[in-house]
Amino acid sequence: MRYKKPNIFCYRLAQAVCFAVATIIFKRKMLRNEIKNKKGPFVVIANHQAAYDFVNLIGARKEPMSFVISNSFYSSLPIKRFFDELGVIPKQQFQTTVKDMKDIKAVIDHGKALVIYPAGLMCEDGVSTPIPDATYKFLRWLGVDVYVARTKGTYFAMPKWSKGMRAGKTFMDIYKLFSAEEIKTADLSYIKEKTDEALLFDAYREQEELLIKYKKHNDIVGLENVLYICPHCKTEFGISVKGGNTLCCEKCGYEAYSDQYSFLHNKKGIGKEIRYVSDWSKMIFASVKEQIKNGELSELKSNAVIKMVDNKKHKFTVAGQGEVTLNSQGFTLRGNINGKETELFASINGIPTLPFSPGKYFEIQQGSDIYRCELSDGKQVMKFINAVKSYYELSKEEVIR
């Protein structure tokens, strides 16, 4: 068991850079900060609205905290060595090895502070990713004070479906959720209830109260890759963006434009108005789930370019191409990978979703290997992701096994 002590110079440098981003881009306002002078050991659990949520959190406490981050993100960083100096703990998303557990526990055993993002992924539609059930046992196993770092607004400042950042006010609230004494003996259902209440969110409903304007607020190019089913005629993959701020169905003429607060409005009177992107996305997910439940959708297939991490270049590079298939059991990947004819299977049992970028790729993880699948038709990515989410929910409901 080894504790990776952060290099204080590098950590201070990271704090300074993150402070600039938090101030200029995220315009962060701290509501409460109960860890500012808190001594370890303790754990901070944070919600995850955007890729760079950590910049709002790293400066919340002067003393270093150990952040658990995605191994995919970590392995493809050109400044990987710098991140090593920060004492980060990389791990596969939604998979935890014995080594991961030892590295994480070492932070606590050395009396230090640990930061984790239980959802694992930032959201693509303003709705938080489900929290794996193992999280609640994990928090009880650590047996230390648990704090929540609740962020609001970063989804709109850095939407997963768009490029770049959009300056605008964000908020962070850090407070104690469980004491060490409480969590050691608490029932798992109670831990789940309080944790979910603290972390789960709908960014669009939060925006209804905040009404914050963000730079390029009505630029929705890329959102068509998330909202790929028309809410009126139910046609798949017929949604496009017109004029930068209007979603259009090429078949029935349904149109919805985004206002200054990122809410949607019916433009032509065709069909019903759907105010929130999150509600439109939920409708699409419900449709996919129902198709799977009724046996109408049993398998998805697509050709794909396969990329893997080049450990020397610290980035994803082309490793081959092949066909990727998804069913209720998992993914099958067949093709020429690294010069060899390959067929591999990756189970999705207990996996609530996958790392992905709308319209571009998703990542299949098998052990320490990450296969980034860039689909021949990028619009199919969200359908695969919604299917994975559906299989996860249906398995919990014991509809499929």
pLDDT above 90: percentage of residues in the chain: 79
In whole angstroms, give the CA distance from residue 26 to residue 129. 21
| 78, pLDDT greater than 80 | no
Return the pLDDT at 6. 92
Return the pLDDT at 377. 95
In whole angstroms, give the CA distance from residue 262 to residue 271. 20
| 127-186 pLDDT per residue, tens | 998 888 889 999 999 999 999 999 999 999 999 999 889 999 999 999 999 999 999 999
In whole angstroms, give the CA distance from residue 210 to residue 128. 18
Answer whether 291's CB lies under 8 Å from 297's CB.
yes
Return the pLDDT at 399. 55
The whole-number average pLDDT for the span 358-369 is 91
| 99, pLDDT greater than 90 | no
Answer whether 235's CB lies under 8 Å from 249's CB.
yes
| 29-69 pLDDT per residue, tens | 999 999 999 998 999 999 999 989 999 999 999 999 999 98
3-state secondary structure of 138: helix
Answer whether 371's CB lies under 8 Å from 364's CB.
yes
Strand ranges of the sheet holding 340-347, from the earlier edge strand across to the other edge: 340-347, 330-337, 315-326, 300-310, 369-375, 361-366, 356-357
Return the pLDDT at 284. 98
Q: Classify each residue of 163-197 as buried b or exposed e, where b means 16 or more C-beta atoms within 10 Å of its C-beta.
A: eebbebbbbbbbeebbeeebbeebeeeebbebbee
In whole angstroms, give the CA distance from residue 182 to residue 140. 9
| 312, pLDDT greater than 70 | yes
Return the pLDDT at 72. 79
Return the pLDDT at 401. 45
| 198, pLDDT greater than 70 | yes
Q: pLDDT grade, residue 216 (50/70/90)?
A: confident
Return the pLDDT at 84. 86
| 82, pLDDT greater than 50 | yes
Give the residue, 397 or 273, on which the prediction is more confident.
273
